[in-house]
Structure 1
Amino acid sequence: MKAEYYIDSFKELKEKVKEDENNFDEREFYFLIEEIEAENHYLFEQAEKHPKYNFEPTQEVPESITLDALEKLVIKIKKFIKKSQPFDPEEELDRMFPDRHNEDFDEDSMSYDSVFGGD
């Protein structure tokens, strides 16, 4: 597919989030990233077959230009996801200081040897 399709899809998802910030579902963005990365794999294979391909986008290898644009788009999408995720102080504290009384707490991962290494 053309890069414009993915760019338009990203714009649509961004508009959807702007209209209703509570409607943010990062899975939709990650699904788009997966689609783009699958396309990147195909484009890389096509560009790699070209005798003048040298891992830089050039007019001589049109696939390389599309590949470069899609790689930059993936970076933009990931930045947007990170910026748009609501900050949850409780979740952040749970991540930093796990509750030892939770069922899924892993005592071994918090042991001295696990954190600082064995002697």
Structure 2
Amino acid sequence: MNKIYNILLNGLLIGTTELEKADVPIGVAFGLIEFNEIESPYEFFKDYYLKNKIVINTDDPEFEFIDTLVMSELKVFRQDGMEIKGVAGNAITGMKDEGYEISILGIPYPFYEEEFPYHVNRV
């Protein structure tokens, strides 16, 4: 069974994820976001990036698709409060019809193996 992780942006809880997907060899964990009281994740992230003058990799308003650069203010925490950190950071990608995912890029070993044994055992 996957664990539930809290996603915070600038200290505000914006949702949760199970980090149910992985690219084990490069230490990446990612998963769909269950948002807390955010009607349009696309507008939420687009507004955040524009207000903070951060470049967006891809922005397609027709499909409400967004692919973001790494955001230092975007953080993922276990239920016990420990932050799950990747050396390359955290990013968001997705579209309205398929949902939005958070990726944690470059989680170091041996922590990756300890935190995500279910991913490691599937390889």
Same fold? TM cut 0.5: no
Higher helix share goes to which structure? 1
TM-score range, shorter-chain basis? Answer: under 0.3
Higher strand share goes to which structure? 2
User: TM-score with structure 2 length normalisation?
Assistant: 0.25
- Larger-Rg structure: 1
User: TM-score with structure 1 length normalisation?
Assistant: 0.26
